[in-house]
Amino acid sequence: MITLTSDFGSPYPAAMKGVIRRHTAAELIDVAHDLPRGDPRAAAFWLRFVLPEFPPAVHCAVVDPGVGTDRDALVVRAGAHVLVAPDNGLAMPPARALAADESDVEAWTIAVDDPASETFHGRDVFAPTAARIRAALDEATDGESLDADAVAETLAGMDDLSPASDPADIRFPEPTVERDEGDEVTAVDGEVLAIDRFGNVITNVPGDLVRGRDWIRVDGDLTPVAETFGAVEPGERLVTVGSHGYAECDVNDGRGDGAFDLRPGDSVRFVPDSVSL
- Residue 205 clears pLDDT 80, i.e. is over it: yes
Confidence of residue 145 (pLDDT cuts 50, 70, 90): confident
Q: Tell me which CATH code domain 2-163 carries.
A: 3.40.50.10790
C-beta of residue 155 within 8 angstroms of C-beta of residue 169: no
- Residue 264 clears pLDDT 50, i.e. is over it: yes
- Residue 111 clears pLDDT 80, i.e. is over it: yes
- Residue 276 clears pLDDT 60, i.e. is over it: no
Domain boundaries, the chain: 2-163, 176-272
- Residue 160 clears pLDDT 50, i.e. is over it: yes
Residue-wise pLDDT for 41-64, tens only, equals 999 999 999 999 999 999 999 999
Question: Can you give the pTM of this predicted structure?
Answer: 0.93
Beta strands (DSSP E) in the chain are: 2-6, 28-32, 58-62, 73-78, 81-86, 105-110, 161-163, 176-179, 185-195, 201-206, 215-218, 221-224, 237-241, 246-251, 267-272
CATH classification number, 176-272, choose in 2.40.30.90, 3.30.1360.120, 2.30.40.10, 2.60.40.10: 2.40.30.90
- Residue 69 clears pLDDT 80, i.e. is over it: yes
One-letter amino acid for residue 113 of the chain: D
